[in-house]
Chains A and B, each alone.
Chain A
Amino acid sequence: MKSWRAQVLVCAGAGCVSSGCRKIRDAIVAGVENHGLKQEVKVIETGCIGSCNLGPLVLINPEGVLYQKLTPEDARDIVAEHLAGGKLVERLLYKDPLTGRPVARLEEIDFFKYQQKIVLRNCGLIDPMNIEEYVAREGYQALHKVLTSMTPEKVVDEIIDSGLRGRGGAGFSTGLKWKFARQAQGALKYVVCNADEGDPGAFMDRSVLEGDPHSVIEAMAIAGYTIGSSQGYVYIRAEYPLAIERLEWAIRQARERKYLGRNIFGTGFDFDVEIRIGAGAFVCGEETALLTSIEGRRGEPRPRPPFPAVKGLFGFPTLINNVETYANIPAIILKGAQWFASFGTEKSKGTKVFALAGSVINTGLVEVPMGTTLRDLVFKIGGGIMDKKQFKAAQTGGPSGGCIPAEHLDIPIDYESLTRIGAIVGSGGLIITDENTCIVDFARFFMDFTQSESCGKCPPCRIGTKRILEILIRITQGRGREDDIDRLVELCNNIKDTALCGLGQTAPNPVLTTIKYFRDEYLEHINDKHCRAGVCRRLKKQAAVKIS
């Protein structure tokens, strides 16, 4: 294998692609050629490095130097000064927000320092379009290990022991799910990957597929062997063209290298994966709706039981996990359940990827051990709130999640703790707000989303969310009524209890948690016609001054 003096990793996650990383890459490639460094420096596009607000960015290895917010001119300077001249280009380095000092090495930057990468182990490190690079990082060794030295039962036990829980939102034990799918009787079985990531702001699944598609393919093959299935489907939303392109490419490469297809590793095990593209319905991220959609029907949830593990795709037993869940599997197989379980809390093992967004200084994709506090996420990794504003609330789990106020900043982020305060880990969306956010308007935003994304099948969700939205709109327009909070709570509790699927059952969470933690702000809107954040334009920004 050829060795290179330096490797330039150009982040080519969808975010950086849209901020112009291709021009940066072209400039670097041209520069490398002009300086006659073609034989010494390798330039590759890699998956999401994580710090999206710094893009377009490049990482230069082996030094691990990160250059941020680049223009093509900057890229030429990097080639001339760093790659040819051997000097750091100081003006392009990351600056510590507190000290203002440049930080050269990625691993010294706070945003990266506190992360623990299992799911994202290859993202931002390898060329996702080149299977060799995945293989070089122990790729497909887990599949080999499973096929040559583990019984399906052993695999199930390993996953159960690891404590891995579904990363799509519900947090059900992945190992148990595999066990049920293995035990289910069926002439056929299917392995399905849920890549219909739809929570506003969440993009970890997209990034895994863009940056490390083989980790998902390998995990699905392992799942196929474990439950006794030879066919997998990845259901991916149409809004992710880059992920689709890279996954398609990866599947083709895996087939060529015979990691997919007939008689894998000569063991007699057959497995293949096909892609199904969603048509833009949020509800198709709900597992039964997703399966219905693959079947070619209108994507709507169906009642469980029967659960997919018993009666899923086309009526056959089906194992369905999301992208992030699968991406953990090869690592667990290779390094062992105990290693995995050494991260996280007692009941929530491993890591979780969050899409950090909103008012924090550092936004992007972060992977931290379960149990990391919200405070660490916001202030250590996120660098605190922008413009020296106050932290107001964090919305976890997207529109299905809850709103966490400052009083709970020290809560460890794990399934049980968040559920206890009315929020959920969910798929890992994490939106941070500051004092400029109106909490009623914030709840209205999420309700507007779930209301229009309801599939319309059950009345509590179809009509109930509309009624909630109507009340919230009325409050933000200064037409709130005295009993509106009670009405909202009644609507919310009833919808939670009666809706058909997870979408409806969790849709009221943002409203319930904002009422729980920010009731005063609702009351100000309703009684004083006052919006302290100044967001609700029909209301007064300043509180009325009482004349005594």
Chain B
Amino acid sequence: MVTLTIDGQKVQVEEGTTILEAARKVNVRIPTLCYLPEVQAIGACRVCLVEVEGNRNLQPACVFPASEGLVVHTNNLRVRRARKFSVEMIVSDHPMDDCLTCPRNQKCELQKLADDLGIREVKFTGEKSGGQIDDLSPSIVRDQTKCILCRRCVTVCKEVQTVSAIYTQGRGFKTRVEPAFGRSLNDVSCTLCGQCILVCPVGAITEKENIEEVWHAIFDPSKFVVIQDAPAVRAALGEEFGYPPGTLVTGKMLAAVRRLGFNRVFDTNFAADLTIIEEGSELLKRIREGGVLPMITSCSPGWIKFIEHFYPDLLPHLSTCKSPHQMLGALTKTYYAEKAGIDPRDIVVVSVMPCTAKKFECSRPEMAGSGYRDVDYVITTRELAKMIRQAGIDFAGLENGYYDDPLGEYTGAATIFGATGGVMEAALRTACEVATGKTLENLDFQAVRGLDGIKEAVVPVDGIGNVKVAVAHGLGNARKIMERIKDGTADYHFIEIMCCPGGCVSGGGQPVPVNDEIRRLRAQALYQEDKNLKIRKSHENPSIKRIYEEFLGQPLGEKSHHLLHTKYTARGRF
């Protein structure tokens, strides 16, 4: 431990703790911009500058290590002037006329910083570095004119996701963050995961909005508009309306979407339960018939695009199951349409997802097994919040709503899909019981929960033996597992991989900000819901039993094959 003095207050910290962290201990909040815990500390933006006695230059608090006897000033005239200048410079190269129309208006870190530092005029105006707007991908829009070059997106893409779709190029005033050769995200091996959106402090990276298309569908009297939502949405939507992270707002959300004018409200969770049955059957088949193992989950479209780009040789390891919302879309336009007597041509399926890659997924040509697009529009959690605000709905005042039958019933196993390890846990619950016929005493598989990058477990299953499983979240961890499959050291039967760190609760379509604490809280909300539900195993979902009886027949049967399973495309790097 070392003792240092910050603004006249003594503070004791571990040696090497940054001044930024040490200052928090004495309730001093040093402003930051390029710094992002768990992602990047590079001292680039010069906003967290402090004066360290004995140092000629001002020092960035986010990286300067505490040492014994250090005397630090975080708020004197020199420091204030320096910080203000750094932000003034950024502002002078920022298209301020666009603030009112920016998707991040009022949620912009630069706005807040400029306000906090009391910047009331732009003293040094001049040419703007400009750039282009890339809106070619179905998921993500990059507006270089707004980029402040903090590099948070570059770091998350390279270090966390190991994708490196975008990086810093050029020099001086012409420095830009962009894909190789200034190409579109659509032309490179971007997985469209949207983690860059979550870390962008301004409006330079946003999802491609589909709000207007959805409004038009809703107000088109010839359309029957169905909405479904992924489990992670209900664990985070509340944050958009001022609830603390980890507040489950399922009831209010359901009431709100009904008020928006959707004709039916289904739950992606239903299809998550269905996934467990289909995927579980596929796994058992592979184990019994000597198929390709380990089998890997396929419900995360960013992950799918990653393996298609980076490990196309390993595609046979993927389960052929579509992701749950695609399954539900397909069933809505077949099973439900038939049941309700609606022409599937008139049905519009809207998925609310924590995800930007799903926007791409729903546009994949193979996602139309019924002859109609499984899902017509994907909107993110953030977009749903915007629609609720646009409609003038007082979210907090709403009574609880409900899901519609028959595609709205779900179990606890489905709801934990939203957290890393959730799919695996749901699968294990069903696998253990179905294979053995015995009832599990403890349904909580703690080994696959939590934020460790790669989690492993060995589960003895009667009749099969020890089933070895692994769970990875974040593409950096996925890459590690892929390398082990390549070199033959991954002797697992089943692997769950989620594209985004923490799983879908912190997907690229979720409310900002996201950090490990928020990931934990959102996951906790889902585990709590699971715990409170009466039925916690997918195979016990009555609606699932019914759909097999009435419509699908057998898992992996003919109908399943057409509607619920898919194929993949080797894409290569460029």
Contacts and interface: CB of A to CB of B under 8 A. Distances in A.
- Interface range on chain B (Cβ under 8 Å from partner): 35 or more
A466 B128 CA distance: 10
B86 interface: yes
B126 A500 contact: no
Interface in A475-511: 487, 491, 494, 497-500, 505
B124 A452 contact: no
A460 B124 contact: no
A298 interface: yes
Contact of B170 (A300, A456, A465, A491): A456
Interface residues of A, number: 33
Residue of B43, B90, B167 with highest tally of chain A CB at under 10 A: B43
Given A460-B46, A466-B127, A498-B58, A305 B64 contact: yes
A494 B42 CA distance: 20
Nearest to B175: A456
B218 to A, nearest CB: 44
A498 B44 contact: no
B173 A500 contact: no
Interface string B83-108: 00110011011000000000000000
B57 interface: yes
A467 B123 CA distance: 10
B82 A497 contact: yes
B46 A498 contact: yes
Nearest to B93: A463
Contacts of A303: 42-43, 59-60, 63-64
Given A456-B149, A460-B86, A498-B82, A466 B44 contact: no
Given A466-B127, A467-B124, A459 B168 contact: no
Interface in B59-85: 59-60, 63-65, 78, 81-82, 85
Contact of B171 (A452, A464, A470): A452
B173 A451 contact: yes
B89 A463 contact: yes
A460 B89 contact: yes
A458 interface: yes
A93 interface: no
Nearest to A306: B65
A298 B177 CA distance: 13
A74 interface: no
Contact of B89 (A302, A451, A464): A464
A300 B127 CA distance: 24
Interface string B109-126: 000000000000001101
Interface in A12-61: none
A39 to B, nearest CB: 56
B37 interface: no
A458 B127 contact: no
B93 to A, nearest CB: 5
Interface in B152-199: 167-168, 170-175
Given A281-B171, A498-B49, A462 B149 contact: yes
Residue of A453, A454, A491, A498 with highest tally of chain B CB at under 10 A: A498
Contacts of A257: none
A281 B171 CA distance: 9
B45 interface: yes
A462 B173 contact: yes
Contact of B168 (A298, A452, A467, A494): A298
Contacts of A456: 149, 168, 170-175
B52 to A, nearest CB: 10
B172 A494 contact: no
Contacts of A541: none
30 contacts: A302-B42, A303-B42, A452-B174, A454-B172, A454-B173, A455-B175, A456-B171, A456-B175, A458-B45, A459-B46, A459-B90, A459-B148, A462-B89, A462-B175, A463-B93, A463-B129, A466-B127, A467-B89, A467-B126, A470-B126, A470-B127, A487-B124, A494-B85, A497-B58, A498-B49, A498-B82, A498-B86, A500-B43, A500-B46, A500-B60
Interface of A: 281, 283, 298, 300, 302-303, 305-306, 451-460, 462-467, 470, 487, 491, 494, 497-500, 505
Enumerate the 8 nearest inter-chain pairs by beta-carbon distance, A residue then B residue, closest first: A456-B175, A303-B43, A494-B85, A463-B89, A459-B89, A454-B172, A466-B173, A470-B126
Interface of B: 42-46, 49, 57-60, 63-65, 78, 81-82, 85-86, 89-90, 92-93, 123-124, 126-127, 129, 148-149, 151, 167-168, 170-175
